[in-house]
Amino acid sequence: MIIVPVSTGDTAYDVVVGAGVRARLPDELPLGAKRAVVVTQPGIGVEVDPGVAHERHEIPDGEAHKSLATVEDLCRRWSRWGLTRDDVVIAVGGGLVTDIVGFAAAVYHRGVAVVHVPTTLLGMVDAAVGGKTGVNLPEGKNLVGAFWQPTAVLCDTDVLATLPERERRSGLGELAKYHFLTDADLAALPLEERIAAAVRIKAAVVAADERESTANPRGRAVLNYGHTLGHALEIAGNHGLRHGEAVAVGLVYAAELAHRLGRIDADRVAAHRAVLAADDLPTRVPDDVADDDLVALMARDKKAVSGLTFVLDGRTGVEVVAGVDEADVRAALQAVR
């Protein structure tokens, strides 16, 4: 078992990584919590016992349900049950669950405690940690959300034994991002240590810039490396790419764009491709997605405050780069076709 502390100045909590750690749930509830709501999805099949009186609520599966309508439905069910600010919400599921439930917890009664029990590799290394919550609009991913830190995160590696192969690869796509943020060889570590290493990297970034200041080009926004095109791919078309797979394509695209802008050399681009190939991750944009659609979606990315904005590698590391010329954006897309 590995415990990674996360501190944002105002809040502090532990991310616990290891086999069977969800059994620690009663000990990780906020002090004085008398009741809990466990929110999950059909088919996840991971049971938890919070050790207090509780109800189990399910939300529908699928990205289409990552919406304000789902948040409203949850909050209304909590209200009917009589959930108060002295109670706790427990999210059991992948990144979609922790994003939705975290946001609902942030806005219900202007904030109720939440504990995350991620059940996917992607959730463990990204969505459940750091307090970034949100839902989608038809115009883009995660455009409505809040910063709401959990009181604990329990990453039980036992649940990964039954993770479908596509979900495992999706998590590996997100893990690849951390390789380029630090140049650490995370792939050489055992899975439990690899998860903990990614959490440590994210925790350090979040501690320095919890709310993703737009004035800090090396702040929390660097955690979105590969996500500008990745998010656009998730919204455009019906090609079936999972989040981490879309991010993998986005990482290669970001490298090609950085190379075109003279920020990195061809060897660095090749290094990106090699890391992703080692985990058999996709590196090309599906044929059914038009460049015009992708450019329009990337222009609406939540990082964009001054023209087309990307997180790009460079000689001094990964940083936010604003005002990228559209011609370069389009030319780089051809390198991942």
Same domain, 212 and 327: yes
227 assigned to active site: yes
Whether residue 47 is contained in a domain is answered as yes
141 assigned to active site: no
pLDDT at residue 313 above 70? Answer: yes
The C-alpha angle with vertex 133 and arms to 132 and 137, in degrees rounded to 5, equals: 130
pLDDT of residue 311: 96
Same domain, 232 and 152: no
User: 162, 196, 216 — which closes off a domain?
Assistant: 162
Give burial (CB, 10 Å; 0-12/13-18/19+) of 62.
Answer: exposed
Same domain, 145 and 249: no
What integer is the mean pLDDT of 102-117? 97
User: 110, 129, 162 — which closes off a domain?
Assistant: 162
Question: 10 pLDDT band (50/70/90 cuts)?
Answer: confident
Is residue 207 within 8 A of residue 6, CB to CB? The reply is yes
The one catalytic residue among 116, 243, 259, 272 = 243
Question: Tokens 């570590």 belong to which residue?
Answer: 189
| Domain residue limits at 240 | 206-334
Whether residue 169 is contained in a domain is answered as no
Same domain, 16 and 155: yes
User: 129, 162, 195 — which closes off a domain?
Assistant: 162
Whether residue 197 is contained in a domain is answered as no
Q: What is the pTM of this model?
A: 0.89
Give burial (CB, 10 Å; 0-12/13-18/19+) of 39.
Answer: buried
User: What percent of the chain has pLDDT above 70?
Assistant: 99
The CATH number of the domain holding residue 115 is 3.40.50.1970
pLDDT of residue 141: 82
Sign of the C-alpha dihedral computed for residues 305, 306, 307 and 311 taken in this order: negative
Question: 214 pLDDT band (50/70/90 cuts)?
Answer: low
Same domain, 155 and 213: no
The dihedral region occupied by 236, where left means phi > 0, alpha psi between -120 and 50, and beta the remainder, is beta
220 assigned to active site: yes
Whether residue 183 is contained in a domain is answered as no
The one catalytic residue among 54, 116, 194, 227 = 227
pLDDT at residue 239 above 80? Answer: no
Same domain, 227 and 297: yes
Same domain, 140 and 210: no
Tokens in use for 303?
């990082």
Query: Measured between alpha carbons, how far is 282 from 49 in angstroms, rounded to an integer?
Result: 38
Give burial (CB, 10 Å; 0-12/13-18/19+) of 80.
Answer: exposed
Structural domains counted in the chain = 2
166 assigned to active site: no
212 assigned to active site: yes
The CATH number of the domain holding residue 314 is 1.20.1090.10
211 assigned to active site: no
165 assigned to active site: no
Whether residue 302 is contained in a domain is answered as yes
**282: phi then psi, degrees, rounded to nearest 5:** -70, 150
pLDDT of residue 35: 96
Whether residue 250 is contained in a domain is answered as yes
Is residue 194 within 8 A of residue 119, CB to CB? The reply is no
pLDDT of residue 261: 98
The one catalytic residue among 167, 210, 212, 319 = 212
pLDDT of residue 82: 95
Break the chain down into helix, strand, coil percent, rounded to 5: 45, 20, 35
Give burial (CB, 10 Å; 0-12/13-18/19+) of 163.
Answer: middle
Is residue 194 within 8 A of residue 186, CB to CB? The reply is yes
Name which of 62-76, 93-107, 172-186 the model is least confident about.
Answer: 172-186
Same domain, 231 and 114: no
What integer is the mean pLDDT of 214-240? 86
Kindly report, residue by residue over 255-305, the tens digit of the pLDDT.
999 999 999 999 999 999 999 999 999 999 999 899 999 999 999 887 777
210 assigned to active site: no
Question: Tokens 């917890």 belong to which residue?
Answer: 105
Same domain, 8 and 154: yes
pLDDT of residue 215: 64
